[in-house]
Amino acid sequence: MKDDLRDQLNEVMDRYPGLRLKPGRSSCAQLEGEFAFEVTDGEFKSLQGNFLVKVSVPRTYPRSAPTVWELRGEIPSGVHVNPDGSLCLASPIDLDLALSKRPSLVDFLDRFLLAFLVGFLVYRKTGRFPWGERKHGVAGALQGIAEWLDCKPSKGIVVPCLRVFLPGHKPGNGENCPCGSGERYTICHEPRISELVREYGSQGMCEIAWRQLEILGFPGGFPKSRLRREQEEIILELLGRGRLMPTMAPNVHFGS
């Protein structure tokens, strides 16, 4: 286990002493125990919670987000719980961006798990989540990416916009924007794309875009049956440099 991850795990256990490290077979590390908190809320003055949780940190962390389960069954299966029983803490793009910018387990638990559980306590009292809700699955992933890119939540729009971050896919001068607005790229989405590249770096945005395309079922921006040789070469290059999730490799099928 890397020293920085060990430090992050110790930081988590110092902040949340009810959590303890447990050996995990498929994960790099696993935390399990009581996640206790008390927060001040404008409507309810004070909210206290104590949930039994399991936090699985994958071997690909921070390129992949930790997975969290609530173990007492206090959260009903229909309330933002994934089919495997894990909690749907946020859209994939929100998790990816947070971990790309600052990979910290404490920040992850504070920003996503704590916020989710506080929201659930409010939901249990009022029947509504205080911060709004997104759809689940691919539809929710599309919503998150579309909000981030400021475009419509359609695969036909989101996928071409994500492809702009990949090598060799930036529109040229005078070309229309891939969002389908009919306007030139330079006056439509280019300012937003450039802003993200400045914030996360060109390589960082390439990796983020690739992971989101994989979630949507479009590795490299093309359906798997149409993946071209140029995308194959880029994938192999990034895999060789350890820049993509190893779990992606078996799911990529190269076509002619």
- How many whole angstroms separate alpha carbon 81 and alpha carbon 88? 5
Q: Residue 131 falls within a domain, yes or no?
A: no
* Whole-number pLDDT of residue 43: 61
Whether residue 160 sits in one domain with residue 101: no
The two three-digit tokens of residue 20, written as one number: 């303890």
* Whole-number pLDDT of residue 90: 87
pLDDT tens-place string over residues 46-65? 788 999 999 999 888 888 89
Give percent above pLDDT 90 in the chain. 32
* Whole-number pLDDT of residue 18: 94
* Whole-number pLDDT of residue 256: 30
Residues 201-207 have a mean pLDDT of 88
Give percent above pLDDT 70 in the chain. 79
The two three-digit tokens of residue 37, written as one number: 């908190």
Burial class (CB in 10 A: 0-12, 13-18, 19+), 253: exposed
Residues 159-178 have a mean pLDDT of 88
228 pLDDT band, cuts 50/70/90, is: very low
**CATH code for the domain in which residue 27 is found:** 3.10.110.10
Is the pLDDT assigned to residue 91 strictly greater than 70?
yes
The residue ranking higher by pLDDT, 142 or 41, is 142
pLDDT tens-place string over residues 128-156? 877 766 777 778 888 888 988 888 888 88
Q: Which amino acid is at 61?
A: Y
Domain boundary among 69, 91, 126: 126
Whether residue 247 sits in one domain with residue 203: yes
Whether residue 157 sits in one domain with residue 115: no
Is the pLDDT assigned to residue 127 strictly greater than 60?
yes
- How many whole angstroms separate alpha carbon 60 and alpha carbon 89? 18
Q: Which amino acid is at 15?
A: R
Whether residue 109 sits in one domain with residue 186: no
177 pLDDT band, cuts 50/70/90, is: very high
The two three-digit tokens of residue 43, written as one number: 């409507």
Burial class (CB in 10 A: 0-12, 13-18, 19+), 80: buried
Angle in degrees, CA 168, 172, 174, rounded to 5: 165
Residue 13: which domain range?
Answer: 3-126
* Whole-number pLDDT of residue 122: 86
